Amino acid sequence: MSDPTSNHIADILARYEQPILEEWLREQSAALSARRDLISDADLRRQSAEFLALFTPACRSGSLTDITAPEWQQSCNFLGDVSRSRATQGFSPSETATFVFSLKQPFFFHLRQELGTDAATLAEEMWSATVLLDKLGLYTTEVHQKAREQVIKRQQAEMLELSTPVVKLWDGIIAMPLIGTLDSGRANIMMENLLQSIVDTGSGIAIVDITGVPTVDTLVAQYLLKTVSAARLMGAECIISGIRPQIAQTMVQLGVEFGTVVTKASLADALAYAFRQIGCSVARQTPRA
C-alpha cells in the first residue's frame, strides 16, 4: 500500500516539471497540427507553463477527485479562459479538450518511471490521475460549448437586426423587404422596426415585401395582419407585396384572408400604387428628336 501522507502525483509533477512541459508541448503540437495557424508556439508554451504552475500546487493541496473544491478554482478558472478563447478562435470542442488530455502521455510516463516497481501504488495513482484529467478535460468542453452558444446567440441577435432593414423609397413611402424564415422572434422585430420607421420618417405608406419569404403559414400571416392593423392605428397604410403564385394558392387553401389589406404581386406594382395614393405620377421623358 502507498503511504497516505506522501503525494506521488504532486511530487512527480514538481520534480519533472520541465521535461513534462516539453513533452506535453510536443503532444499538443502533434494533435493540433492542422490548427497551427490559430495559435502560436509562444502562446501555447505560455499557456501550458502557466497551467502546470497552477495544477501542481492544486494536486498537492487538494482532493484529486473533486474539481469543484476551492483548491481547484484557480486551475478551473484558467482552463475556462483558455477554452473560451479557443471557442471564439474556432477550435472544435475536441481540439480544445486536447489541451488537457494530451498531458496524460508525459505525465503517465513519469508516473510509471517513478512508481514502476510498486504496481499497487502505480495503479492507484494512474487511476486518480486519469479521473482528474478526464474531469478537467470535460470541464474545458463544457466551457467551450457555453462560449460557442454565446457567440451564436450574439450573431443571431445581430442578424435579426440586419435582416429587417427598412428603406425609404420616396418622401412618405418606406419599404421593408423580408428575406428568409419568419419565426416569432424575427416577426416581432420586423413589426417593431417598421412601426418605428413609420414614426421616424412620418411616412403614410409602408410596403412589406415578402418575395424572399419561403412559407407563409398562419403564424406569418397573423404577424403580417397585426402589422397592418398597428400601422393603420398610426395613420399609415400598409401594402403587402411580393406574393408569388404558389404562395397565393397556398394562402387561399389555408383559408388566410388579407381582407381589406392592399396586396400586390411585386414591389414595383406596390410602388406604382403608392405613387398614385400620394398623388405622384411617374412619366417617361419624351425622347428627343
Ligand X SMILES: Nc1ncnc2c1ncn2[C@@H]1O[C@H](COP(=O)(O)OP(=O)(O)OP(=O)(O)O)[C@@H](O)[C@H]1O
Give which of 272, 277, 264 is closest to 210, Cα–Cα.
264
For other proteins, the binding residue among 250, 263, 266, 277 (CB under 8 A) is 250
Q: What is the DSSP string of 254-275?
A: HT---TT-EEESSHHHHHHHHH
For other proteins, the binding residue among 117, 253, 260, 285 (CB under 8 A) is 253
Contacted by 70, from ligand X, other proteins, none: CB < 5 to 8 Å by type? none
Give the whole-angstrom CA distance, residue 26 versus residue 45. Answer: 10
Number of residues that bind ligand X (CB under 6 A): 2
Is 82 a residue that touches other proteins (CB under 8 A)? no
Q: Which is nearer to ligand X, 184 or 246 (CB)?
A: 184
Is 131 a residue that touches other proteins (CB under 8 A)? no
**Number of residues assigned to the chain:** 289
What the block records as the C-alpha cell of 261 is: 389589406
To other proteins, the closest distance from the beta carbon of 263 in angstroms equals 17
What the block records as the C-alpha cell of 68 is: 469543484
Q: Which is nearer to other proteins, 88 or 246 (CB)?
A: 246
Contact call for residues 103 and 140 (beta carbons, < 8 A):
no
- Stretch touching other proteins by CB under 8 A, among 107-115, 128-136, 181-189, 203-211: 181-189
Contacted by 155, from ligand X, other proteins, none: CB < 5 to 8 Å by type? none
Contacted by 181, from ligand X, other proteins, none: CB < 5 to 8 Å by type? other proteins
CA dihedral angle for residue 224, residue 227, residue 233, residue 235, rounded to 10 degrees: -90
Q: Which is nearer to ligand X, 179 or 256 (CB)?
A: 256
Q: In one letter, which amino acid is 281?
A: S
What the block records as the C-alpha cell of 27 is: 503532444
Q: Kindly provide the b/e burial profile for residues 154-190, where b requires at least 16 CB atoms within 10 angstroms of the residue's own CB.
A: eeeeeebeebbebeebeebbbbbbbeeebeeebbeeb
Give the whole-angstrom CA distance, residue 176 versus residue 197. Answer: 10
Which residue reads 387553401 in cell numbers? 253
Q: Which is nearer to ligand X, 132 or 210 (CB)?
A: 210
For other proteins, the binding residue among 77, 150, 196, 218 (CB under 8 A) is 218
- First-residue to last-residue Cα distance in the chain: 110
Q: Kindly provide the b/e burial profile for residues 4-13, where b requires at least 16 CB atoms within 10 angstroms of the residue's own CB.
A: eeebbbbebb
Q: Which is nearer to other proteins, 160 or 221 (CB)?
A: 221
- Stretch touching other proteins by CB under 8 A, among 34-42, 45-53, 216-224, 272-280: 216-224
Give the whole-angstrom CA distance, residue 80 versus residue 88. Answer: 12
Q: Which is nearer to other proteins, 139 or 223 (CB)?
A: 223
What the block records as the C-alpha cell of 133 is: 484529467
- Stretch touching other proteins by CB under 8 A, among 31-39, 77-85, 157-165, 245-253: 245-253
For ligand X, the binding residue among 40, 89, 218, 229 (CB under 6 A) is 218
Q: Interface with ligand X by CB under 6 A: which residues? A: 218-219
Binding site for other proteins (CB under 8 A): 181, 183-185, 214-219, 221-222, 245-247, 249-250, 253-256
